[in-house]
Amino acid sequence: MSETGPSALMPPRAFFDGRAQLVPFVRHADARGVLTPLDFGTLPFVVRRAFIVTQVPTGATRGGHAHRTAQQLLVCLRGRIDILMRAQQQEVLLTLGPETPGLLVDAGVWCRQTYVDPDSTLLVFASEAYDPGSYIDHWT
């Protein structure tokens, strides 16, 4: 398929042989707003922790590491967040926003987030409780 074909417009749903994947959400919209559910039974891991990142200065980066064993699901609730991932000697760049899918990231995939818009908000679901020993600078 050429670079100007559909594959250039629709990002692939999986990267690094499936070690990172875009996960679409169903959004229930009506006159009272939008409800976006996430049934944890649909995830490939048991969620043991969540964290929310807010009030990040515009253009600041966070992350910049991989995890030894933890898996994560990244959901951008507001604004726009550029994601840089590295694994298997490749780099992938993509952008998350409130209308995009979430991003599943396996252990060993290095990931950095740049908060592009003011008030960009990230919600993360993780397979492990917080462990400072889980963070690694390299990727596999």
Q: Which is nearer to its own copies, 16 or 128 (CB)?
A: 128
Q: Does 138 bind its own copies (CB under 8 A)?
A: no
Q: Does 49 bind its own copies (CB under 8 A)?
A: yes
CA-based nearest residue to 75, from 54, 104, 55: 104
Residues near its own copies (CB under 8 A), total:
36
Of 11, 62, 100, 140, the one binding its own copies (CB under 8 A) is 62
Q: For the window 1-40, what string marks contact with its own copies as x by the rule CB under 8 A?
A: ----------------------------x-xxxxxxxxxx
Rounded Cα distance, 19 and 87, in Å: 9
Length of the chain: 140
Give burial (CB, 10 Å; 0-12/13-18/19+) of 70. buried
CB of 24 to its own copies, least distance (A): 14
Of 15, 16, 125, 139, the one binding its own copies (CB under 8 A) is 125
Beta strands in 59-120 (DSSP E): 61-67, 72-78, 81-87, 90-96, 102-105, 110-115
Binding part of the chain for its own copies, among 2-10, 12-20, 48-56, 82-90 by CB under 8 A, reads 48-56
Contact 63, 82 (CB under 8 A): no
Give kind and range of the element (H or E) at residue 122.
strand 121-126
Task: Note the residues at the interface with its own copies (CB under 8 A).
Answer: 29, 31-41, 47-57, 60-62, 75, 77-78, 98, 115, 121, 123, 125, 129-130
